[in-house]
Amino acid sequence: MNSYQFNCSKCGSCCKNLHLNELYKELDRGDGVCKYFDEKTNRCKIYSTRPDICNVMNMYEIHFNKYYSLKEYIELNEKSCEKLKIINQKK
Ligand code: SF4
């Protein structure tokens, strides 16, 4: 078992800023918020079947393990997460 994993704080910032990344265009309900995001609970309505692009570890296994160590990849995701939280707080 590896010791690196992405620890989601469940803030919802990534699911509420999809307009910042073309990859998420199909999920954007039109205002940057995902059509599957439940604003009452701050959770994904389809979490167990969410697309791979929403699953940090799946994306590592499918694409990014060719380019980054798991540690590097997790750190990059954590940096992006922090930026999204700042963007979200300014709304
Ligand atoms: S599918 Fe779920 S995890 Fe992915 S952006 Fe939408 S609400 Fe977030």
**13-50 tens-digit pLDDT:** 999 999 999 999 999 999 999 999 999 999 999 999 99
CA distances for 57 relative to 27, 62, 72, 73, angstroms: 19, 9, 13, 9
Residues with CB under 6 A from ligand 1: 15, 27, 34, 36-37, 44, 46, 50-51, 54
Q: What is the pTM of this model?
A: 0.90
Structure tokens at 68: 């980054």
91: pLDDT strictly greater than 90: no
Average pLDDT, whole number, for the chain? Answer: 94
Rounded to 5 degrees, φ, ψ at 47 are: -50, -45
Element (H, E) at 38: strand 37-38
Atom of ligand 1 nearest to the CA of 54: 4
Distance of CA 27 from the midpoint of ligand 1 (Å)? 8
4 confidence band (pLDDT: 50, 70, 90): confident
Question: Which amino acid would we find at residue 12?
Answer: G
Element (H, E) at 43: strand 43-44
Structure tokens at 59: 């994306």
